[in-house]
Structure 1
């Protein structure tokens, strides 16, 4: 797997996952929506740690900085 996520993308995903976790813990979101959002938050954290988003790959999207070869 080639990395396709930049630092800003990873930071935003972790921030969103943390917000979802706090909202679920406080009871603001619950039920089926809460579970779905918790799973989404887990996917965000996982993809942030491995720096690879499977949805970016088919479209050729990359948010990481490209190193120029000399």
Structure 2
């Protein structure tokens, strides 16, 4: 699996995920919305650590500047 996320993209996703977890922890969001926010935060954390976003594929997006060997 090739990486398709650049460092800035990964950092922004990580920061957004941490912010979402904080919102849930401090009960700013709760209930069904809180669960949805936590699922989104988990997806952001996973993709930021892996460096690959499956939603980029259908749109042909690639924010990774480094060329990778195939």
- Quick check: TM above 0.5? yes
Distance in 2 (alpha carbons) for counterparts of 1:55 and 1:42:
15
Q: Find the counterpart in structure 2 of residue 57 from structure 1.
A: 57
Q: Which residue of 1 is the match for residue 12 of structure 2?
A: 12
RMSD over aligned Cα atoms: 0.8
Q: Scaled by the length of structure 2, what TM-score is found?
A: 0.91
What are the Cα deviations for residues 7-57 of structure 1, in whole angstroms up to 9, with x where unaligned?
A: 000000000000000010001000000000100000000011110000001
Indicate yes or no: 2:29 matched with 1:29.
yes
Point out 4+ residue stretches in structure 1 off by more than 3 angstroms.
none
What's the CA shift for 1:59? 1.3
1:41 aligns with 2:35: no
Q: Which ranges of structure 2 fall in alignment gaps of 5 or more residues?
A: none
Quick one: distance in 2 between partners of 1:10 and 1:66?
Answer: 14
For structure 1, the residue ranges without an aligned partner over 5 or more in a row are: none
